A and B are shown apart, each in its own frame.
Chain A
Amino acid sequence: MKHTRSLQDLSRRGFLAGTGATALTLALAACGANERSSSSASSATPTKGGTLTILQSSPDINWDPAKSQGMAVTSLALVHRRLTTWRIVNGQEATVVPDLATDTGKVSADGLTWTYTLKDGLFLENGSPITSAQIKYGLERTFADALSGGLGYHKALLADTKGYTGPYQGKQLASVETPDEKTIVFHLAKPYGDWPWIASTPAFAPVPPHDNPATYARKPVASGPYRVADYKQGVSSTLERNPKWSAATDKVRAGLPNSVVFSLGQDQSVSSQRLIADSGADKNAFGADLVAAAQLAQVTGNPAAKGRLATASAGPLQYLAINVDRVTDPDVRKAIAYATDKKAVVAAFGGDLGAVVATTYITPGIPGREAYDLYPTSADKAKGLLKGKKVGKLVLLTPNDDTSVAVSQAIQQSLQKVGCRCRSTPFRTRPGPNAPLRATGRAMTSPSGRGTPTTRRPMPICSRCSRPARSATEATTSPATRTRRWTSCSPTPPPCRSTRRSRSGRPSTSGSPRTAPSCRWCIAATPSCTAPA
């Protein structure tokens, strides 16, 4: 969960924002159908007030913390505070910091018990004080079948959760105790040093008991700087100020705009054009989607737009996952690795702004990375390995979006050059949930799309980099933290394999469970990703 980069790495692809997106007080001169502003680009100094517009292609936002997979730096954090959150400062490692709690947690000597104390002066939007019981209830609801679908790492880590189906049948979770209104104690099944990171997931947001799980997503009770004023599925969601939120208790969120409007279901290319045009209300807008590869060229050719392109260095990792049950010969797998033209893959991502070649699981910019390349592109080596082998027709499954299809075509062509027959099959999936793969051919490879479970031996191809520079949270974070924020666009972490350290239950405030060599356990994204024996 740690996402940290250095300044010099900031040269990669990202998101577009309007010129006023960081300066939210802007005089608008409406003249015409699309509100053109006569004012020039405003200063980058953020001031309080105004409306921030967020253009996103996804038609829905689930404001229920139990159903959300939003990390601490995503939209949900505007409405819901958690026990801990992330502090992200440009050029520094991301750290976990207290949010509702006074610290990131006190761990017992055996590493099995974590205790948190709530800050003073915390209130929900309805005026009631935030209590440890509300956090416990919020956590318990995530076990209810009606509310499954969110980030549930805590379910695997807490003790005695087997058979627990949520609070709606009147049962409580024994492994979470609330000795008083300010204290909450978690009992884990086994020591877990990165528990403070887990406490930053949406499940650790307070929810007042007796909620209706069918409707809570539309009108949640806010603890953050904003409350949900309006939610129209597929159209928009408007956040307005939560008067009960106290900036004094929140060192991460600045809450600058008076309101935040999410324009949902926006066509991605039209959104990009609007942000390039940079007129009217769009001056205070940013795109929540990656800029498509085709439009990156247009943006880079336009100096005004290029200046508003939020870019990042390495971030999420995408890789080609080979089904080793079908491609059983290691030499053939190595040949596929050699044959794949990484430059062509990077070009399909939109060139250097779109991706860089990773060559290892740990992407450039993450501490602990050792640069090596076991399989540099070499058609000759691939041909040599394949000599005399009979390889069946390969099936390349790919998410059905423009970029992924372009990438799969690049891989397909690479493989064909060394004599492999390969068919690319796009299938429609959404980024996020684990996309199931079913092989239809004799052998199957799959470029790992976001969310593709890769329980097989993966081959690092390239790291795709992206981050919302002017994300909802960032635009509202305090000046000290309004810097580059590293948001993984890959909700499913790659299978972890780093496990060098002892089984320490000590708190780790900056270690990434899936990438840093110092961590003991990874977050289990796939069944294969489990703690070593």
Chain B
Amino acid sequence: MNDRIRFLLSRLLQTLLVLILIAFITFAVFELFPADPAQLACGKPCTPENLARARAYMGYDKPWFVQFWNYLTEIFVGTTYGTGAGAIRCSAPCLGYSFRLSSPVTDLIAARIPITLSIAVGAAVLWMVIGVTGGVVSALRRGTALDRSIMTFTVVGVSAPSYLVGLLGILLLGFKADIVPVAGYVPLSQSPVDWAWHLVLPWTVLALISAAIYTRLVRGEMLENLGEDYVRTARATGLPERRVIGNHVLRNIAVPVLTIFALDFGGLLGGAVITERVFSIQGLGALFLDAVGATDIQLVMGVTLVAAVAVILMNLVADILAAVIDPRV
């Protein structure tokens, strides 16, 4: 069998196992959690009969392993709650049904993905540009005032919590300076300018924190590589410094930076929980937070799985990119 196909198949199998494991852990957490999701659908007054009916309807009256198995199979075949004219259908891929929000989990997640994607992509571009530039400049100007300033900025960036930076940004740039909107989200399809305008602050807040980490990472990698023999050889051959850095050093540091970036970006796709909450943007993070608060198990499971898929996929992409950049991988 072709090595590449074997590699791909083994990765897919690993992915599947990881996803099942994540689903199981999420499920187990809620099994142990002191809350009964059926109570949300029980109404008031919640009599024992009503609770029993709600449990049976939602499928929570079955043993945990049956519930778990049903959840996994329903992803592929879908399910129907109730019978007759009042039956509710959750079509495949059915990641569950939120009885609280009267909506299939898949639909709820699908509605939030563009929002989270908007935040993640913008922030990632910003932090990569700032981080890589800052790191390279800092490494090349090692020991200078510029290097020290950048490093001071990174310490502040790394240690500042996003909710604090976010609220400060809202207060200073939104309320005081009135430069950017303080809350909300406008879909890209509605107005690209408003879309970007509403996201400037969240992007900046997320990017500031991550950019600090990437600056330090790139600087460290750069300094390490600049001391390597291949750099000395390249310089000795008379290559211009720009090509030494651009073609050789940056290419070598790309692999570790990309690996970390894939993890960070994948995580961000699962929802920038705090940033979304502070800026009142209803992405996957806000959906997740709300689902946890409401003990909406199926919604939590759905968002967790989607977030896990995002991380795994991004890792796969990073692996492939690493192989392209560095054929030895």
Contact = CB atoms under 8 A, between A and B. Distances in A.
Interface of A: 32-34, 36, 59-60, 62, 64, 67, 69, 141-142, 144-153, 155-156, 166-170, 210, 213-215, 217-218, 232-235, 263-267, 269-271, 273-274, 277, 427-430, 433-438, 491-492, 523-527, 529
B42 A33 contact: no
A31 to B, nearest CB: 8
Contacts of A436: 34-36, 39
Given A146-B81, A267-B280, A437-B34, A234 B287 contact: yes
Interface in B91-129: 99-103, 108, 111-112
B292 A427 contact: no
Contacts of B155: none
Contact of B44 (A33, A233, A271, A492): A492
A526 B171 CA distance: 44
Contacts of B180: 33
Contacts of B182: 33-34, 270, 273-274
B101 A149 contact: no
B45 A152 contact: yes
B299 to A, nearest CB: 11
Given A144-B86, A273-B170, A62 B50 contact: no
Nearest to A217: B102
Given A145-B57, A436-B39, A270 B183 contact: yes
B188 interface: no
Interface string B214-226: 0000000000000
B196 interface: no
B289 to A, nearest CB: 9
A213 B47 contact: no
B301 interface: no
A51 to B, nearest CB: 15
Nearest to B112: A234
B286 interface: yes
B313 interface: no
Contacts of A142: 43
The 7 closest A-B pairs by CB, nearest first: A168-B86, A234-B282, A145-B57, A32-B178, A438-B34, A152-B43, A168-B85
B31 to A, nearest CB: 13
Interface residues of B, number: 61
Interface string B60-89: 000000000000000000000111111111
A152 B282 contact: no
23 contacts: A60-B101, A62-B102, A144-B86, A146-B57, A146-B88, A148-B42, A149-B43, A150-B44, A151-B44, A155-B50, A170-B84, A214-B88, A233-B111, A234-B111, A263-B280, A266-B183, A269-B167, A270-B170, A273-B171, A428-B292, A434-B44, A523-B45, A524-B47
Given A145-B54, A145-B82, A33 B197 contact: yes
Nearest to A66: B43
Nearest to A59: B290
Interface string B285-327: 0110010111100000000000000000000000000000000
A153 to B, nearest CB: 7
Interface string B170-188: 1100110011111111000
Given A34-B181, A213-B86, A233 B54 contact: no
A429 B35 contact: yes
Most B-side CB within 10 Å, residue of A148, A150, A168, A170: A148
B117 to A, nearest CB: 15
B45 A270 contact: no
B278 A270 contact: yes
Contacts of B81: 145-146
A108 B159 CA distance: 72
B48 interface: yes
B248 interface: no
Contacts of A69: 43-44
A35 B191 CA distance: 18
B45 A524 contact: yes
